[in-house]
Structure 1
Amino acid sequence: MIVQNEVDLSFTNIVEGRRSVRKYDSSAVVTEQEIRELLELATKAPSSSNLQPWRFLVVTDPELKAKLLPIAFNQQQVVEASAIIIVLADLEMYTLSDKIYESAAAAGYMTEEVKNNMVANSTRMYSSLPPERLKEIAVFDTGLVAMQLMLAARTKGYDTVPMGGYNRDQVKELFGISDRYLPTLMLPIGKAAVPGHPTTRLPIDDITFFNKL
């Protein structure tokens, strides 16, 4: 059972309480079961045609984290956080459409006819997209799941920081990742040793336009 660590679980407080934490308590452990539970919550995120292109490479081994350190430009959170979740975009996510829609049909969410049409249409459409458009869709969806993962972690009293600053080619080389998978962001998760500092945001009136730009 996950200890809530006295976190205020109202949505507003979860969102306002999330900080990008860069200094972690290296003695704190997020268990594999806890990570699985967080990923279950995170993957409720929406995705294009429900193709769920996100894949998660969870790194907890200290030796592997040490190898990630120079790849992440020596950002210490890579070795101090309990786990590093590398979020990957599957550029061939449409190849799992049969499994995805079969599951939906088995759950009673669609008929067999609709399932067959969805499999055929999604496979045809996504496989024929220009590579850059397909990449754009997959990366967008991994951003959705990553944000949901950060908020889920906060509900359990854990801290995170989204990292785009690392060498993607070296990550692929270290783990033998094929070109099918594109590393998008690296997400340390653990307990803060030093709280993330608060930041400000632009006023809504500066960034919002109603009915015309």
Structure 2
Amino acid sequence: MSLTEKQLSAEELILSRHSVRKYEPGVTIPDAELNEILELAASAPSSWNLQHWRFLVIREQANKEKLLPIAYNQQQVVDASVVVVVLGDLEANLVAPKVYENATEQIREMMLGQINGAYQNNPGLGRDEAFLNASLAAMQLMLAARVKGYDTVPMGGYSKEALIKEFNIPARYVPIMLLPIGKAQAPGRATDRLPLQEQVIHERF
């Protein structure tokens, strides 16, 4: 029984997600299904609701082949059905007027003042927020793909400079990670985790 046929609990869904590096070549994800995955990912929370992520979706095999050397010849980028390049918006404050266009004038002015003030007074904030919020969307994308019966692997091993040049990514956006999506040819390996007591600090150090 596939995941699309079986309703998983949230706990089962989270625990069933593993990083998959071997995919069945030639599998096509239907447009409607891919859009559903992306829409679920885009429902992730974000600071001030600025939705700091952008998804560069690479599906054409020729473009995946161009991506292969950029990703240091990791085969999953050409075998997976789709590679989503998760980008972070360094100037997400510019989206604020559209985000708050339907708010009352009082709320809109308050929020725009707060957002622009924060960005103007802290040069590093745009980058920090881009990474923070785009990473939330990336995790949600992986879980959304799992719901639909697909597997993923988050990838940080690639040349950001070559990626930007090859795919003409504007300076406004910073690459966060590559996310291949597809049908697993071999299951992902469950990895060990540190005991909870080594990961959790209560109240203070």
TM-score (norm 1): 0.91
Distance 1:42 1:189 in 2: 13
Q: Give the SS at the match of 2:22.
A: coil
Unmatched tracts of structure 1, length 5 or more: 106-110
The equivalent of 1:123 in structure 2 is 116
The equivalent of 2:76 in structure 1 is 77
CA deviation after TM superposition for structure 1 residue 28, in Å: 1.7
Where in structure 1 do 4 or more consecutive aligned residues deviate above 6 Å?
A: none
The change in CA–CA distance for 1:78 and 1:129 in structure 2 (over 3 A counts) is: same
Pairs within 5 Å for 1:1-213: 4-103=3-102, 105=103, 111-130=104-123, 132-213=124-205
CA deviation after TM superposition for structure 1 residue 50, in Å: 1.1
Distance 1:48 1:12 in 2: 26
8 Å contact from structure 1 (residues 30, 82) kept in 2: yes
8 Å contact from structure 1 (residues 7, 157) kept in 2: no
Q: How many residues align?
A: 204
CA deviation after TM superposition for structure 1 residue 128, in Å: 3.4
Distance 1:159 1:7 in 2: 16
What is the alpha-carbon root mean square deviation over aligned residues? 1.4
Distance 1:7 1:138 in 2: 35
Write the letter of the residue equivalent to 1:128. N
Write the letter of the residue equivalent to 2:53. W
CA deviation after TM superposition for structure 1 residue 47, in Å: 1.1
The change in CA–CA distance for 1:125 and 1:211 in structure 2 (over 3 A counts) is: closer
The change in CA–CA distance for 1:157 and 1:7 in structure 2 (over 3 A counts) is: farther
Distance 2:9 2:57 in 1: 28
Deviations 1:1-27 (A, max 9, x none): xx8543542101100000100000113
CA deviation after TM superposition for structure 1 residue 212, in Å: 2.7
Distance 1:55 1:188 in 2: 15
8 Å contact from structure 1 (residues 94, 127) kept in 2: no
CA deviation after TM superposition for structure 1 residue 124, in Å: 2.9
Distance 1:142 1:83 in 2: 18
Distance 1:206 1:44 in 2: 32
CA deviation after TM superposition for structure 1 residue 117, in Å: 1.7
Q: Percent identity?
A: 47
